[in-house]
Amino acid sequence: MHLGTRNNLRRPSVGVVERALQKIEAHIAAADEEQLERLIPESQYAPLQRLRSIGRIIDHCELPATGSLVLDVGTGFGYGAVLLGSLGYKVVGIDSNEDRVRRGIALWNAVGLPVGESAQPSLSKDGSVILIHSSVADIEAEAVEKVDAATCFFLSGYMLKGDGALHQVAKHLKQGAPFFASTEGDISLSISERDGSVQALARRYQDGEISLMGLDFREYFKIREEAVYDPHLFRFSRAV
Ligand SMILES: C[S@@+](CC[C@H](N)C(=O)[O-])C[C@H]1O[C@@H](n2cnc3c(N)ncnc32)[C@H](O)[C@@H]1O
């Protein structure tokens, strides 16, 4: 079976993401509050809100079967990576910000949901969640066409620029594999696009006026749920 073709992709069953969220939240609730606050001050990507926002986005993502390999680009503290891992995916979360990755690893260890770390920008093969401090541009060459799906939650505008992270995703994806990217909207996108409206950006992808390297634009929609503060969702797929 060729994973990554649209027919094999499914949204998570109703309630599955919610249960995974509640499991992670229970771990966070049971952990030492001061220690967590030291690792990730509430002002910086408050864990519970980020997790809920990402969870409600994943509800809308058609993904391959659990057990598949997912690359979470710009994973930050690893919220998306850990949530996808709780759903049963093998996940490599990668971020060029060393401090975030380091704090993320410490956070997940502190709450009893340990994640692996790697000094090498390679793709995990052992069924676990692994967080890597590296630019996505530096993932080793042998990782080409290994990934069944990719995500990027809460993208920053500069990641869309010609030399930005999102142009580096396609080569790691299997043909036809999906890539989901969410954004809060105008503010982040105005950095890279002269027209700052996210709908206008989607139209330009739709019309083929702009593109992400190696990716076909599939759809754009807005998730209208209060918990989601990066509600603009783009779906691309690796060009065949
Ligand atoms: C706005 S944050 C989002 C973090 C996380 N995905 C979330 O939802 O909370 C964007 C992240 O992308 C990372 N990033 C930007 N360019 C990158 C690149 N080339 N490779 C890996 N990570 C990158 C930044 O370091 C930052 O942590």
Structure confidence by residue, pLDDT tens digits, 7-52: 689 999 999 999 999 999 999 999 999 999 999 887 777 899 999 9
Say which amino acid occupies 175: Q
- The pLDDT of 51-64, averaged and rounded, is 97
Q: Give the mutation target among 95, 151, 161, 180 for probing the ligand 1 site: most ligand atoms within 8 A of CB.
A: 95
Residues 170/238, Cβ–Cβ less than 8 Å: yes
Percent of the chain whose predicted confidence (pLDDT) is above 90: 72
Distance in angstroms (rounded) separating the CA atoms of residues 89 and 128: 8
pTM over 0.85, yes/no:
yes
Q: Give the mutation target among 53, 96, 172 for probing the ligand 1 site: most ligand atoms within 8 A of CB.
A: 96
Give the pLDDT band (50/70/90) at residue 2.
very low
- The pLDDT of 213-230, averaged and rounded, is 95
pLDDT higher than 90, residue 5: no
- The pLDDT of 58-79, averaged and rounded, is 96
pLDDT higher than 70, residue 159: yes
Give the pLDDT band (50/70/90) at residue 125.
low
Residue of minimum CA distance from atom 23 in ligand 1:
74
Average pLDDT, the chain: 89
Give the pLDDT band (50/70/90) at residue 126.
low
Domain definitions of the chain by residue range: 6-238
Percent of the chain whose predicted confidence (pLDDT) is above 70: 90
- The pLDDT of 164-193, averaged and rounded, is 84
pLDDT higher than 70, residue 89: yes
Distance, CA 125 to ligand 1 centroid (Å)? Answer: 23
What's the confidence (pLDDT) of residue 1?
33
Pairing mode of beta strands 178-183, 232-238:
antiparallel
Query: Residues, the chain, total?
Result: 240
CA separation, residue 202 to residues 58, 64, 186, 195 (Å): 20, 24, 12, 11
Residue 136, ligand 1, Cβ within 6 A: yes
Give the pLDDT band (50/70/90) at residue 228.
very high
State the helix-helix crossing angle for 47-58 and 16-30, rounded to 10 degrees: 170
Distance, CA 1 to ligand 1 centroid (Å)? Answer: 32
pLDDT higher than 50, residue 152: yes
pLDDT higher than 80, residue 237: yes
Least confident of 55-64, 179-188, 218-227: 179-188
Interval 92-116: pLDDT, tens: 999 999 999 999 999 999 999 999 9
CA dihedral 240, 156, 229, 99 (to 10 degrees): 110
Which residue would you say has higher pLDDT here, 220 or 157?
220
What's the confidence (pLDDT) of residue 3?
41
Distance in angstroms (rounded) separating the CA atoms of residues 47 and 123: 25
Q: Around Cβ 208, how many Cβ atoms within 10 Å? A: 9
Strands, E assignment, the chain:
69-73, 90-95, 116-118, 129-133, 149-152, 178-183, 215-222, 232-238
Distance in angstroms (rounded) separating the CA atoms of residues 147 and 169: 9
For domain 6-238, the CATH superfamily is Vaccinia Virus protein VP39 (3.40.50.150)
Residue 151, ligand 1, Cβ within 6 A: no
